Amino acid sequence: MIVSNLVKFKKSLREAGLIETALRTLHWFKIISVLHSFDFTLKELSIRDGVLILNSFDEIDAPKVSQINGLHISMREIKEEELENLTFDEGMFPLEIMREHYARGLRFFSVFHEGTIVALNGIHMRYAHLSYIKRSAVQLPQGVAYLNCAMTSPNYRDLGIGTVLRTFALCQLWREDYKWVIGAVFTENSAALRWNLTNDFKKWGRISYIRFQGHDFWIKRLTKVGRQSPNLLNNLVTMDHAFQKFPLMVKS
């Protein structure tokens, strides 16, 4: 038991860092309750994000067609009124969930293979809806988009489809004059964080939401990029008045 816990502790130190491991340890001893921990990433869009996709696909306003790992795919934005007439591969969002997202203003970009949707990217352009962590919607600054969700059917994973779709979606944002894109993943989702960092997102920092003696707090740990970047994320991570700032800001 002791050896097993020691192995878990070392793994947490390696993957999550000292501060997060300390919070998890306090949570384990029921001294505090760690509600959520997020790694936030930030990407500044440039002409490169538009040129890459425009040089790689067909006409600007038509569905973008490509071939990846022998599969002929097409990509485009899908609208809510289309849902009943679309076919989704297994493991994708249920229609009722997608309708809820549309009602909150989410836009969906999709990959089709043989007429079936096999991957989705959901992006908020005006608000970041944070109900999934029991927080309110936060208005985004002008020119800033929030990557809300991404999903690829289990039958089409590890083929690079998700990366191509994200590239396509970022191109659409660039064409619509968006300047920045925010990504947020749960700290334990190391694969999603690696994907963001591999695709030119920079780690802005980590936010932990904790409960201590009946009060909710947030702890912010900024990276060097976070300290030097425009102050785009503060409203997103701190606006909810239920949370109070914890006096801790350290280098990640």
- Classify residue 36 by burial, with Cβ atoms within 10 Å: 0-12, 13-18, 19+: middle
* Residue 109 and residue 71 in contact, taking contact as beta carbons nearer than 8 Å: no
CA 21 to each of CA 1, 27, 112, 249: distance values in angstroms, whole numbers, following the listed order: 18, 10, 41, 16
* Residue 216 and residue 209 in contact, taking contact as beta carbons nearer than 8 Å: yes
- Token pair listed for 220: 């912010």
Distance of CA 96 to the CA centre of its chain: 21
Count, residues in the chain: 252
Measured distance CA(65)–CA(56) in Å, rounded: 9
Sign, Cα dihedral of 79, 82, 87, 88: positive
Predicted confidence (pLDDT) per residue in 49-82, tens digit: 665 555 544 445 566 777 788 899 999 999 999 9
Q: What percent of the chain has pLDDT over 90?
A: 21
- Token pair listed for 193: 């964080």
Q: How many CB atoms lie within 10 A of CB 183?
A: 26
In the predicted model, is pLDDT for residue 209 greater than 50? yes
Torsion on CA atoms 111, 79, 181, 186, rounded to nearest 10: -70
Predicted confidence (pLDDT) per residue in 175-184, tens digit: 889 988 988 8
Predicted local distance difference test score (pLDDT) of residue 122? 93
In the predicted model, is pLDDT for residue 233 greater than 70? no
Predicted local distance difference test score (pLDDT) of residue 239? 45
Residue indicated by tokens 């609208």: 79
Domains recognised in the chain with CATH numbers = 1-31 (no CATH), 32-249 (3.40.630.30)
77 strand-pairing partners = 109
Predicted confidence (pLDDT) per residue in 143-157, tens digit: 889 988 889 999 999
- Token pair listed for 176: 């619509």
Measured distance CA(73)–CA(160) in Å, rounded: 12
Measured distance CA(218)–CA(216) in Å, rounded: 7
Identify the band that residue 20 occupies on the pLDDT scale cut at 50, 70 and 90. confident
Predicted local distance difference test score (pLDDT) of residue 133? 61
Predicted local distance difference test score (pLDDT) of residue 68? 84
Residue 250: helix, strand or coil by DSSP? coil
Measured distance CA(229)–CA(162) in Å, rounded: 27
Please choose, from the candidates 204, 214, 163, the residue with its C-alpha nearest in 3D space to the C-alpha of residue 180. Answer: 204
Q: What are phi and psi of 250, to 5 degrees?
A: -130, 165
Mean pLDDT of 230-235: 60
